């Protein structure tokens, strides 16, 4: 007898692992470019090359897929902030934080847009994660930044708004990609937009924080 859902089996099959990955990849593609409500299970199923009921054999509901994607993204998305080291030099730490975030915007734009979509609509599925783990991590790193400022290693500034501004400027290149490219047009400026952004942002933040 077939067990109702793959999730109920004790050990996941090789097929299960492969298909779930396939589905999540397809779901990321679809969700990130159409939003949650704008995406249909049929679209995801087609992108994953399988029938709708087959997809629903692996994920009970549309929400389940979305949920798993969001959880995953939220975790990896915070990695650059997590590795910011209180013991390191402020200049190097902030510079590499910006660089890492910008690389993520370049290499994982779908993940960024998925997250942006969720927040834009009021984060209906992840309020707890925001006020819980996210807030805790930011509080911790804000304290690090504040310590740097107190020690005179960096200009006095509101650490929370500093973090917000790094988030927003870097993610802009993923979330608002269409706009950025429309404005830059077909040009070298467009092709090199990530390098140019890196140079500009480095200058902006390092000078803005009187780090050099």
Interaction site with its own copies (CB under 8 A): 33-38, 113, 116-117, 119-123, 127, 130-131, 134-135, 138, 155, 157-158, 160-162, 164-165, 167-169, 171-173, 175-176, 178-180, 182-185, 189, 196-197, 199-201, 203-205, 207-210
Among 27, 47, 50, 104, the residue binding DNA under the rule CB under 7 A is 50
- Residues 115 and 71: their CA atoms lie apart, in Å, by 10
CB 49 within 8 A of CB 94: no
Query: Which residue number, 41 or 116, has a Cβ lying nearer to DNA?
Result: 41
- Residues 209 and 212: their CA atoms lie apart, in Å, by 8
Query: Which residue number, 54 or 192, has a Cβ lying nearer to its own copies?
Result: 192
53 sits near DNA (criterion: CB under 7 A): yes
Rg (CA), the chain: 20
Which of DNA, its own copies, none sits in contact with 199, Cβ below 5 to 8 A by type? Answer: its own copies
Which of DNA, its own copies, none sits in contact with 41, Cβ below 5 to 8 A by type? Answer: DNA
Would you call 170 exposed, middle or buried from its count of C-beta atoms within 10 A (0-12, 13-18, 19+)? Answer: buried
Q: How far is the CB of 20 from DNA (least distance, A)?
A: 10
Q: Which residue stretch of 3-11, 71-79, 138-146, 177-185 sits at the interface with DNA (rule: CB under 7 A)?
A: 3-11
- Residues 137 and 132: their CA atoms lie apart, in Å, by 9
- Count Cβ neighbours within 10 Å for each residue of 52-86 and write b for 16 or more, e otherwise: eeebbbbbeebeebbeebbeebbeebeebbeebee
Query: Which residue number, 15 or 183, has a Cβ lying nearer to DNA?
Result: 15
Q: How far is the CB of 48 from DNA (least distance, A)?
A: 10
Query: Which residue number, 126 or 157, has a Cβ lying nearer to DNA?
Result: 126
Give me the residues that bind DNA (CB under 7 A), please.
1-3, 6, 9, 13-16, 19, 39-42, 50-54, 56-57, 60-63
């Amino acid at each position: 007898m077939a067990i109702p859902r793959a999730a109920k089996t004790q050990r996941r099959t090789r097929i299960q692992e492969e298909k779930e990955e396939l589905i999540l990849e397809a779901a990321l593609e679809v969700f990130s470019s159409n939003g949650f409500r704008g995406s249909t299970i049929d679209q995801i199923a087609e992108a994953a090359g399988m029938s709708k009921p087959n997809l629903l054999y692996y994920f009970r509901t549309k929400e389940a897929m979305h949920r798993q994607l969001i959880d995953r993204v939220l975790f990896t998305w915070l990695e650059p902030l997590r590795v910011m080291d209180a013991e390191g030099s402020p200049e190097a730490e902030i510079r590499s934080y910006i660089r890492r975030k910008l690389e993520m915007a370049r290499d994982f734009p779908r993940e960024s847009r998925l997250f942006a979509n969720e927040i834009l609509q009021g984060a209906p599925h992840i309020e707890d994660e925001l006020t819980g783990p996210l807030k805790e991590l930011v509080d911790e790193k804000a304290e690090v930044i504040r310590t740097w400022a107190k020690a005179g290693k960096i200009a006095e500034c509101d650490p929370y708004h500093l973090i917000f501004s790094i988030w927003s400027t870097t993610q802009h290149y993923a979330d608002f990609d269409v706009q950025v490219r429309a404005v830059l047009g077909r040009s070298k400026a467009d092709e090199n937009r990530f390098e140019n952004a890196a140079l500009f942002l480095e200058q902006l933040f390092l000078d803005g924080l009187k780090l050099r």
